[in-house]
Amino acid sequence: MEPSADLLNQLQAATQGLLWMSESDYPFEVVHWQEPTNIPMTKERLLQLTDHSPETPIDQVDLETFFGIATQSASWFGAGEQAQASQYQHLVELLKQHLKHPIVYRIGSINLDLYILGQTETGEWVGLKTKAVET
Protein backbone atom coordinates (compact mmCIF):
# COMPACT_ATOMS: atom_id res chain seq x y z
CA MET A 1 0.00 0.00 0.00
CA GLU A 2 1.41 3.35 -1.01
CA PRO A 3 -0.13 6.51 0.35
CA SER A 4 -0.91 8.85 -2.45
CA ALA A 5 2.25 10.38 -3.81
CA ASP A 6 0.18 13.55 -3.78
CA LEU A 7 0.05 13.61 0.04
CA LEU A 8 3.79 13.05 0.41
CA ASN A 9 4.42 15.76 -2.19
CA GLN A 10 2.01 18.13 -0.44
CA LEU A 11 3.79 17.62 2.89
CA GLN A 12 7.15 18.19 1.21
CA ALA A 13 5.89 21.39 -0.41
CA ALA A 14 4.22 22.62 2.80
CA THR A 15 7.48 22.33 4.74
CA GLN A 16 9.75 23.71 2.01
CA GLY A 17 12.02 26.29 3.63
CA LEU A 18 10.25 25.89 6.99
CA LEU A 19 12.41 25.44 10.10
CA TRP A 20 11.25 24.32 13.54
CA MET A 21 12.65 26.91 15.92
CA SER A 22 14.11 25.98 19.27
CA GLU A 23 17.58 26.70 20.61
CA SER A 24 18.63 25.49 17.16
CA ASP A 25 16.54 25.52 14.00
CA TYR A 26 15.89 22.30 12.09
CA PRO A 27 14.10 21.47 8.82
CA PHE A 28 11.20 19.05 8.53
CA GLU A 29 11.45 15.67 6.78
CA VAL A 30 8.51 13.65 5.49
CA VAL A 31 8.23 10.20 7.11
CA HIS A 32 6.24 7.20 5.92
CA TRP A 33 5.90 3.76 7.50
CA GLN A 34 3.86 1.03 5.88
CA GLU A 35 2.78 -0.48 9.17
CA PRO A 36 -0.14 -2.89 9.37
CA THR A 37 -3.39 -1.04 10.02
CA ASN A 38 -4.28 -3.18 13.02
CA ILE A 39 -1.14 -2.27 15.00
CA PRO A 40 -1.50 0.99 16.93
CA MET A 41 1.40 3.44 17.18
CA THR A 42 2.36 3.07 20.81
CA LYS A 43 5.23 4.91 22.42
CA GLU A 44 7.14 1.62 22.61
CA ARG A 45 6.55 0.90 18.93
CA LEU A 46 7.69 4.37 17.88
CA LEU A 47 10.89 4.05 19.93
CA GLN A 48 11.56 0.76 18.15
CA LEU A 49 10.80 2.17 14.67
CA THR A 50 13.08 5.16 15.28
CA ASP A 51 15.98 3.11 16.70
CA HIS A 52 15.77 4.61 20.20
CA SER A 53 16.35 2.51 23.30
CA PRO A 54 13.23 1.45 25.24
CA GLU A 55 14.34 3.66 28.16
CA THR A 56 14.33 6.86 26.08
CA PRO A 57 11.86 9.42 27.45
CA ILE A 58 8.89 9.99 25.14
CA ASP A 59 5.93 12.34 25.52
CA GLN A 60 2.86 13.04 23.41
CA VAL A 61 1.49 16.49 22.63
CA ASP A 62 -1.62 17.28 20.65
CA LEU A 63 -1.16 18.92 17.26
CA GLU A 64 -2.82 22.23 18.14
CA THR A 65 -0.73 22.69 21.29
CA PHE A 66 2.52 21.83 19.51
CA PHE A 67 1.98 24.25 16.62
CA GLY A 68 0.09 26.85 18.70
CA ILE A 69 2.60 29.68 18.78
CA ALA A 70 3.92 28.97 15.28
CA THR A 71 0.45 29.40 13.73
CA GLN A 72 -0.40 32.67 15.49
CA SER A 73 -0.01 35.96 13.69
CA ALA A 74 -0.04 39.47 15.05
CA SER A 75 -0.73 42.88 13.53
CA TRP A 76 2.87 43.93 14.18
CA PHE A 77 4.36 40.99 12.21
CA GLY A 78 6.42 41.84 9.16
CA ALA A 79 5.75 40.20 5.80
CA GLY A 80 8.20 37.35 6.50
CA GLU A 81 6.66 36.55 9.88
CA GLN A 82 3.14 36.65 8.43
CA ALA A 83 4.19 34.33 5.60
CA GLN A 84 5.73 31.88 8.07
CA ALA A 85 2.61 31.86 10.28
CA SER A 86 0.48 31.26 7.17
CA GLN A 87 2.77 28.42 6.10
CA TYR A 88 2.40 26.78 9.52
CA GLN A 89 -1.39 27.26 9.42
CA HIS A 90 -1.51 25.55 6.02
CA LEU A 91 0.68 22.71 7.31
CA VAL A 92 -1.58 22.07 10.32
CA GLU A 93 -4.68 22.06 8.10
CA LEU A 94 -3.00 19.64 5.69
CA LEU A 95 -2.11 17.26 8.52
CA LYS A 96 -5.62 17.42 10.00
CA GLN A 97 -7.26 16.96 6.61
CA HIS A 98 -5.27 13.89 5.51
CA LEU A 99 -4.28 12.08 8.72
CA LYS A 100 -6.45 10.38 11.31
CA HIS A 101 -5.69 11.55 14.85
CA PRO A 102 -2.37 13.31 14.18
CA ILE A 103 -0.23 13.48 17.30
CA VAL A 104 3.23 14.84 18.12
CA TYR A 105 5.78 12.63 19.85
CA ARG A 106 8.72 14.23 21.65
CA ILE A 107 11.53 11.69 22.02
CA GLY A 108 14.54 12.23 24.27
CA SER A 109 15.62 15.09 26.48
CA ILE A 110 17.59 18.24 25.61
CA ASN A 111 18.22 17.04 22.01
CA LEU A 112 14.72 15.98 21.01
CA ASP A 113 13.52 14.05 18.00
CA LEU A 114 10.03 15.25 17.10
CA TYR A 115 7.60 13.11 15.10
CA ILE A 116 4.24 14.46 13.92
CA LEU A 117 2.36 11.31 12.89
CA GLY A 118 -1.06 10.10 11.89
CA GLN A 119 -2.64 7.36 9.81
CA THR A 120 -3.82 7.71 6.24
CA GLU A 121 -7.16 6.28 5.17
CA THR A 122 -5.29 3.14 4.09
CA GLY A 123 -3.77 2.78 7.57
CA GLU A 124 -0.20 3.78 6.79
CA TRP A 125 1.71 6.01 9.20
CA VAL A 126 2.72 9.30 7.58
CA GLY A 127 3.93 12.59 8.94
CA LEU A 128 6.92 14.74 9.63
CA LYS A 129 10.13 14.51 11.60
CA THR A 130 12.30 17.31 12.93
CA LYS A 131 14.52 18.08 15.91
CA ALA A 132 14.57 20.55 18.78
CA VAL A 133 17.11 21.54 21.40
CA GLU A 134 15.69 22.44 24.82
CA THR A 135 18.08 23.00 27.73
List the domain boundaries for the chain.
5-133
- Please write the tens of the pLDDT for every residue from 7-59: 999 999 999 999 998 999 999 999 998 766 667 889 999 999 999 999 999 99
Q: Where are the alpha helices (DSSP H) in the chain?
A: 5-14, 43-49, 63-71, 79-98
**Global confidence as pTM:** 0.91
**Rounded mean pLDDT of the chain?**
91
The pLDDT assigned to 126 comes to 93
Residue pair 85/72 in contact by the 8 Å Cβ criterion: yes
For range 95-110, the mean pLDDT: 96
Q: Which is more confident, 85 or 107?
A: 107
Instruction: Give residue 123's pLDDT band: very low, low, confident or very high (50, 70, 90).
Output: confident
- How many Cβ atoms from other residues are within 10 Å of residue 76's Cβ? 6
Give the residue from 22, 32, 33 showing the smallest Cα distance to 113. 22
Please give the CATH superfamily to which domain 5-133 belongs: Nuclease A inhibitor-like (3.40.1460.10)
Using CA atoms, how far apart are residues 126 and 135, in angstroms rounded to an integer?
29
Rounded (10°) CA dihedral 45, 49, 53, 54:
0
Q: Which pLDDT belongs to residue 69?
A: 87
